[in-house]
Structure 1
Amino acid sequence: MTAYDYLSQVSAAAGASAFLYRLPELTRRRDDPAVWALCVYFLASALSFLIDLNVLRNHIAAFFNYPNVTTVITQSAVVILTAAQQVVLIYWSHPPEVARARVKRCISFFLTMLMVLVSLFFLIGPYNAPSSAEDSLLRNMGELEYALYLLFYITICAVGQFVALRMSWRHTGVAHRFWLRLGMRAVTAGAALILVYCLIRYTEMVGTQLGFDMSAWEPVYWLAGSVGSLLQLFGWTVPSWGAAASLWISDYRAYLALRPLWWALYQAVPSIALELPRSPSADRLPPRNLRFHLYRRVIEILDGYLELRPQLSLAARQADHANKERHSPEREARLLHWALTARAEGRETSQPAGTTPIVTTITRREDGFTEQLAWLIDVALSFTRITADHERRSALRNCGGTQ
Structure 2
Amino acid sequence: MKDLLHPISLVIATLGFLCLLRDVPARRRDPASMALAAVFLLSGLSFLFSITPMWQYLDRALGTVNLSVPLAQGCVVALLACQQVVLTYWSSPPDVARGRARVWLGAGLAVIAGLFALFTQLTPSAPRPIDFTLYYAHDNAYAAYLTLYVTAYTLGELFLARACWRLARRSDRRSVSVGLRVVALGATITLGYSAVRIGNVIAGAFGGSLDQWESFAWTCGDVGAMLTLIGWLVPTISDQAQGVQYRVNQHRSYHCLRPLWLVFHREAPEIALPIDRVDPAQRRRFRGITIKLYRRAVEIRDGRFVIRQHLDAGVRENSEAHHRTRGLHGDELNAAVTADQIIAGITARAEGVRPDSDQLTDFADANRQTSRPMDDIGALLAVARHLPDPARAHQPERASA
| TM-score, length basis structure 2 | 0.66
In the alignment, is the contact (CA less than 8 A) between 1:80 and 1:110 conserved in 2?
A: yes
Q: What letter corresponds to residue 292 of structure 1 in structure 2?
A: I
What is the distance in 1 between the residues matched to 2:106 and 2:371? 53
Instruction: State the match for 2:224 in structure 1.
Output: 224
The CA deviation string for residues 84-113 of structure 1, in whole angstroms up to 9 with x for no partner, is 333454466567887687667655654453
In structure 2, runs of 5+ residues without a counterpart are: 201-207, 276-284, 394-401
| Cα distance, 1:225–1:173 mapped onto 2, change above 3 Å | closer
Maintained 8 Å contact 2:85/2:101: yes
- Separation (CA, whole Å) in 2 of partners of 1:18 and 1:119: 33
Change (3 A) 1:255 1:69: same
Which of these residues, 199, 213, 219, is aligned with residue 192 of structure 2?
199
1:257 corresponds, among 246, 253, 259, to: 253
Contact 2:182/2:230, CA 8 A, preserved across alignment: no
Q: Secondary structure at the match of 2:153?
A: helix
Q: 1:68 aligns with which of 60, 63, 66?
A: 66
Larger CA deviation: 197-206 vs 68-77:
197-206
Q: Which residue of 2 aligns with 1:113?
A: 111
Counterparts of 1:265 and 1:37, CA distance in 2: 46
| Structure 2 Cα separation of the partners of residues 92 and 373 of structure 1 | 34
Cα distance in structure 2, aligned partners of 1:84 and 1:48 = 14
Partner of 1:86: 84
C-alpha spacing 1:57/1:211, structure 2 compared with 1 (3 Å): closer
CA distance in 2, matches of 1:112, 1:125: 23
Give the partner amino acid of 1:85.
Q
When normalised by structure 1's length, the TM-score is 0.66
Q: Which amino acid aligns with 1:11?
A: A
Q: Is the CA contact (8 Å cut-off) linking 1:190 and 1:228 kept in structure 2?
A: yes
| Identical aligned residues as a percent | 20
* Structure 1: gaps of 5 or more residues: 277-285, 392-403
CA distance in 2 between counterparts of 1:366 and 1:156 reads 56
Q: Give the one of 339, 342, 356 matched to 2:359.
A: 356
Moved more, 157-166 or 257-266: 257-266
Map of 1:361-380 to 2, 5 A cutoff? 361-363=364-366, 365=368, 367-368=370-371, 370=373, 371-380=375-384
- The reply on whether 1:190 has 2:189 as its aligned counterpart is no
| 2:180 matches 1:165 | no
**Per-residue displacement from partner, 1:211-234 (whole Å, max 9, x unpaired)?**
537547756642331331343366
Match of 2:16 in 1: 14
Task: Tell me by how many angstroms 1:298 deviates.
Answer: 1.5
State the shift of 1:8 in Å: 0.6
Shift of 1:79: 0.7
Measured at CA, do residues 90 and 348 of structure 1 come closer, stay the same or move farther in structure 2, by a change above 3 Å?
closer
> Is the 8 Å Cα contact of residues 82 and 161 (structure 1) preserved in structure 2?
yes
The equivalences for 1:234-245 within 5 A come to 238=236
**Structure 1 residues 143 and 331, CA gap change in structure 2 (3 angstroms):** same
Question: Root-mean-square deviation (CA), in Å?
Answer: 5.0
Which amino acid counterpart does residue 190 of structure 2 have in structure 1? Y
Distance 1:182 1:155, change over 3 A: farther
How far apart, in 2, do the equivalents of 1:2 and 1:287 lie? Answer: 49
> One-letter code of the match for 1:158?
T
CA contact 2:161–2:184 (8 Å) conserved in 1: yes
> 2:183 is matched by which residue type in structure 1?
G
| CA spacing shift, 1:124–1:245, aligned 2, 3 Å | same
Which amino acid in 1 is paired with 2:318? Q
Aligned to 1:47: 45
Deviation sequence 1:106-155 (CA, Å, 0-9, x none): 55654453344334444445583565xxxx3x564365348955565344
| Deviates further, 141-150 or 67-76 | 141-150
* 1:73 partner amino acid: L
Distance change >3 Å, CA 23–CA 60, structure 1 → 2: farther
Alpha-carbon distance change, 9 to 242 in structure 1, aligned in 2, over 3 angstroms: closer
